């Protein structure tokens, strides 16, 4: 039988709670569809710092490398915020992206009908918003040379932002291909009026564009994009951009949907391997209380089924179950209008498993 290996990284804060519910969904999928999953847990982030002295232990990397996909809960928390760079959860995050070659971060941002009112945007502005931010994830200023030096004006810090044609091409092609499966509109975001990397970005995207004549391409400056996301969010289909701009814009896009607790993301490399995680963070303030919302992590499993395994029927089943449970009025505290009616993490997970 075709057994799929999934590395499970529960991580910190609410990570373990939400991942536990996603694992129940995996089990239920085996029963319902006859698929087979072999899961292996690995330490990562803050807990790995505490137990192994490093955010990304070698054995964790090996577990991921021998898996077909990775499911990640969330990492980080105030406990590790003042650590030195090598002992910070984020350093593990950057390290795992680079080590696994995950050059592309896919962040769908759309509106859940039942959460329309949760956004700070007016419902009529939000109407129809359904976009994907494709963020380059292993290049740019995140991974360029960094150093300090003494100058006549005191210490100076330097970060280097670099992109080569190969890096830009592969992320651009992926974005064009995603756009082809959707509304066929691609917005490439850069700061070509100031940055050399952006000028190379724009040239390369334009050159690649001739291979995708069915996709309508526009170039948007990053400052203008930050505005247009607010003014006309529904007009965007796929947005492709470099690492730092993507970090900012994907968070802005997620927040404006009002559904940030519900959004899943994928980090992909060459081939079908991918790392899947909820967009929300580790929420240390509510960790351990059993009140966190497992839906984004459960939907990350659905995304894994679609993008890595091609299990579309199972993905449909999960997404339909989530919708059904929400339509029936069940809410965790973060999305409940009447907090006194809110259900816990376990109850929400069980309802979704039952509805599959």
Ligand X SMILES: CC(C)[C@H](C(=O)O)[C@@H](O)C(=O)O
- Candidate list 50, 159, 223, 327, residue with the active-site label: 223
Annotated binding-site ranges for NAD(+): 77-90
By CB under 6 A, tell whether 247 contacts ligand X: yes
Is residue 82 close enough to count as binding a copy of itself by CB under 8 A? Answer: no
| 155 is a site residue for a copy of itself (CB under 8 A) | yes
Residues 250-289 vs a copy of itself: string with x where CB under 8 A?
Answer: xxx-xxx---x-----------------------------
Q: Which is nearer to a copy of itself, 63 or 131 (CB)?
A: 131
Instruction: Give the residue numbers of the binding site.
Output: 77-90, 97, 107, 135, 223, 247, 251
Told to check if 27 binds a copy of itself by CB under 8 A, we report: no
Q: Is 337 in the site for a copy of itself (CB under 8 A)?
A: no
The Cα 237–Cα 282 span in angstroms is: 28
CA distance 49 to 26: 28
Please give the annotated binding residues for Mg(2+), written as ranges.
223, 247, 251
Only segment of 21-29, 161-169, 268-276, 319-327 that touches a copy of itself (CB under 8 A): 161-169
Q: What are phi and psi of 152, to 5 degrees?
A: -65, -20
* Long-range contacts of residues 244-249, Cβ cutoff 8 Å, at least 24 apart: 244/140, 244/141, 244/142, 244/161, 245/135, 245/189, 245/190, 245/191, 246/105, 246/133, 246/134, 246/135, 246/136, 246/137, 247/135, 248/222, 249/133, 249/135, 249/189, 249/222, 249/225
Is 55 or 233 the residue whose CB approaches ligand X more closely? 55
> Total binding residues for ligand X by CB under 6 A?
7
Please choose which of a copy of itself, ligand X, none residue 31 contacts, taking the beta carbon within 5 to 8 angstroms, the exact cut-off set by kind: none
Tell me the C-alpha distance between 311 and 332, whole Å: 28
Residue with tokens 């918003």: 129
Beta carbon nearer to a copy of itself, 5 or 116: 116
> Within 122-151, which residues bind a copy of itself (CB under 8 A)?
122, 125, 141-142, 144, 146-148, 151
What is the rounded CA–CA span in Å between residue 56 and residue 45?
7
User: Any idea which residue has 């989530």 for tokens?
Assistant: 322
148 SS3 class = strand
What residues are labeled active site? 142, 191, 223, 247, 251
């Amino acid at each position: 039988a075709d057994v799929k290996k999934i590395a499970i990284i529960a991580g910190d804060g609410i990570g373990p709670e939400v991942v536990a519910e996603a694992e129940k969904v995996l089990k239920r999928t085996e029963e319902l569809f006859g698929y087979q999953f072999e899961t292996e847990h690995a330490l990562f982030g803050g807990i790995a710092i505490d137990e192994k002295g490093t955010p990304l232990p070698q054995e964790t990397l090996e577990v991921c490398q021998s898996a077909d996909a990775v499911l990640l809960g969330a990492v980080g928390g105030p406990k590790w915020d003042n650590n030195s760079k090598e002992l910070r959860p984020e350093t593990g995050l950057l390290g795992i992206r680079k080590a696994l070659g995950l050059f592309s971060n896919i962040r769908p941002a759309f509106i859940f009908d039942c959460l329309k009112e949760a956004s700070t945007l007016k419902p009529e502005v939000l109407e129809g918003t359904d976009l994907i931010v494709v963020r380059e994830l292993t290049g740019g200023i995140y991974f360029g040379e960094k150093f300090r030096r003494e100058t006549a004006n005191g210490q100076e810090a330097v970060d280097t932002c670099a992109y080569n044609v190969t890096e830009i091409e592969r992320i651009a092609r992926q974005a064009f291909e995603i756009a082809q499966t959707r509304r066929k509109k691609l917005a490439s975001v850069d700061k070509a009026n100031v940055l050399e990397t952006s000028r190379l970005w724009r040239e390369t995207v334009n050159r690649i564009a001739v291979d995708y004549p069915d996709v309508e391409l526009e170039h948007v400056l990053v400052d203008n994009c930050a505005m247009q996301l607010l003014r006309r969010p529904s007009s965007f289909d796929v947005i492709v951009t470099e690492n730092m701009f993507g970090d900012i814009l994907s968070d802005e896009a997620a927040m404006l949907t009002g559904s940030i607790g519900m959004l899943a993301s994928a980090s992909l490399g060459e081939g079908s391997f991918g790392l899947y995680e909820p967009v929300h963070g580790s929420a240390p303030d509510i960790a351990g209380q059993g009140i966190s919302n497992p839906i984004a992590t459960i939907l990350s499993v659905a995304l894994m089924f679609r993008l890595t395994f091609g299990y579309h029927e199972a993905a449909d089943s999960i997404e339909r179950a989530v919708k059904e449970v929400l339509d029936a009025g069940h809410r965790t505290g973060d999305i409940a209008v009447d907090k006194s009616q809110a259900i816990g993490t376990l109850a929400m997970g069980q309802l979704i498993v039952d509805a599959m």
